[in-house]
């Protein structure tokens, strides 16, 4: 049995943004990570920043330099807080991944940091993670998926839904594409792409973007075994990118487009979300995604006060402290003799008591199973929900979600 940590928390926030009340931007950076000035292609391992927050004095990414990331164990978003200026002439990339070549094409791909994993291929397929996903389907986020009508892409409803809000608070990434399973002898099984990651860059002075920021959704896995025999997993949705500064300028690009999906690539995952918050917004570049502009002064949620859900045990078996959600390395193993329904214990932080918690199980093969319960034990700061659910036999992914208004 596989378990994972919280994969989505939907929040409705009351926000205020009267420009007259704000004369300057304070990113909140204390500068303890120093200046970030890579001179060659750089892979940032986020393991030493478990909350994903970096406090820089300045950022300068030259042309022809690409910065990518290895997500931390908590799969947090990437948050760069900058005391002065951020100059981006190169590329910052938090895109989701695409399943590998056969035979690993059946395994759903990982999302970018803060994004959601794709579903696995198999009998019936399995849905990707995140509220915008579905079995065998391209995923949604800021928009619905898109389909080629012969002359142009158009949005269409395929059972997925958009989610999040225009402010990107809380900061969240794209959903994974669904895995597929159909055809002869399992030859056309294919995993879904990983959702685009989540990135916040906040600078107290200027963000000058003449390079590119990418949080694209990964394409679905592909397998071709001959004439009229192919498999293509669902394309993931693009991720979330938020830029906050006193002044935003430049003529670069921000790309949160979705990955390629089923029907011979004619279906793509939905666009992610892009938010530009600045007192002086002079950005003249391109944004491929659901873009909004304005000035919303909240940069990050107060430390220690954000809502968190953590699955702590399954059928009495403790869950790994740093769950991976990878089938090859289970985070919890439940005995085959376990009776049903199985109790799932979810720890909640900063969530009002008696909030409805939904636990979903996405087995390696078959449809998702869900059950609900209430966090009716503890306090607002620390509470527990125990939810009984009939878990299908075999390995799979378990995640918990909640909806709350702040």
* Residue 5 lies inside a defined structural domain of this protein: no
CA-CA distance, 47 to 76, in Å (whole number)? 10
240 and 363 share one domain: no
284 and 399 share one domain: no
Whole-model pTM? 0.74
289 and 359 share one domain: no
Report pLDDT digits (tens) over 96-140: 998 877 777 778 899 999 999 988 887 666 777 787 887 667 889
242 and 320 share one domain: no
Cα 110 versus chain centre, distance: 10
How many domains in the chain?
2
Q: 204: which residues sit within 8 A by CB, 6+ positions away? A: 24, 25, 26, 27, 29, 82, 83, 84, 245, 246
99 and 159 share one domain: yes
Look at residue 280 in the predicted model and tell me its pLDDT: 92
The structure tokens listed for 35 are 């200046």
Higher pLDDT, 267 or 11: 267
237 and 368 share one domain: no
366 and 241 share one domain: no
* Residue 2 lies inside a defined structural domain of this protein: no
29 and 145 share one domain: yes
Buried b (16+ CB within 10 A) or exposed e, 28-61: bbeeebeebebeeeeebebeebeebbbbbbbbbb
Domain boundary among the residues 296, 314, 331 is at 296
Look at residue 406 in the predicted model and tell me its pLDDT: 39
Look at residue 25 in the predicted model and tell me its pLDDT: 85
Q: Which domain holds residue 389?
A: 305-405
Q: What percent of the chain has pLDDT over 90?
A: 41
241 and 280 share one domain: yes
Selection from 119, 47, 113, 117 nearest residue 75 by Cα? 113
Report pLDDT digits (tens) over 138-149: 889 999 998 877
Look at residue 5 in the predicted model and tell me its pLDDT: 29
289 and 324 share one domain: no
Look at residue 22 in the predicted model and tell me its pLDDT: 39
313 and 256 share one domain: no
Domain boundary among the residues 279, 296, 313 is at 296
205 and 262 share one domain: yes
Look at residue 262 in the predicted model and tell me its pLDDT: 62
């Amino acid at each position: 049995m596989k378990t994972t940590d919280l994969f989505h928390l939907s929040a409705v926030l009351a926000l205020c943004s009267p420009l007259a009340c704000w004369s300057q931007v304070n990113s909140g950076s204390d500068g303890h990570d120093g200046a970030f000035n890579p001179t060659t292609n750089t892979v940032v391992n986020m393991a030493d920043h478990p909350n994903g927050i970096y406090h820089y004095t300045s950022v300068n990414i030259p042309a022809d330099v690409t910065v990518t990331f290895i997500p931390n164990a908590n799969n947090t978003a990437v948050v760069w807080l900058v005391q002065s200026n951020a100059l981006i002439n190169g590329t910052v990339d938090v895109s989701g991944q695409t399943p590998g070549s056969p035979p690993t094409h059946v395994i759903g791909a990982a999302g970018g940091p803060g994004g959601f994993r794709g579903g696995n291929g198999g009998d019936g397929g399995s849905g990707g993670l995140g509220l915008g996903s579905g079995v065998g389907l391209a995923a949604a986020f800021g928009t619905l998926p898109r389909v080629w009508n012969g002359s142009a892409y158009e949005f269409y409803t395929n059972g997925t839904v958009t989610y999040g809000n225009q402010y990107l608070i809380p900061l969240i990434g794209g959903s994974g594409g669904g895995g597929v399973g159909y055809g002869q002898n399992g030859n056309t099984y294919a995993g879904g792409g990983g959702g685009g990651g989540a990135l916040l860059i906040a600078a107290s002075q200027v963000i000058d973007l003449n390079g590119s920021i990418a949080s694209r959704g990964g394409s679905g896995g592909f397998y071709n075994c001959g004439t009229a025999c192919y498999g293509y997993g669902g394309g993931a949705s693009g991720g979330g990118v938020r830029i906050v500064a006193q002044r935003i300028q430049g003529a670069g690009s921000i790309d949160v487009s979705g990955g390629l999906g089923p029907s011979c690539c004619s279906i793509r995952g939905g666009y992610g979300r892009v938010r530009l918050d600045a007192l002086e917004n002079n950005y003249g570049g391109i944004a491929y995604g659901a873009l909004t502009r304005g000035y919303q002064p909240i940069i990050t949620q107060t430390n220690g006060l954000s809502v968190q859900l953590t699955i702590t045990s399954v059928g009495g078996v403790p869950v790994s402290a740093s769950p991976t959600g990878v089938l090859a390395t289970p985070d919890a193993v439940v005995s085959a003799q376990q009776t049903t329904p199985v109790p799932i214990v979810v720890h909640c932080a900063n969530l009002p008591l008696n909030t409805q918690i939904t636990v979903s199980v996405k087995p390696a093969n078959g449809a998702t199973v869900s059950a609900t319960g209430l966090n009716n034990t503890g306090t607002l700061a620390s509470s527990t929900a125990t939810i009984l659910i009939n878990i299908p036999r075999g390995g799979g992914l378990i995640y918990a979600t909640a909806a709350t208004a702040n």
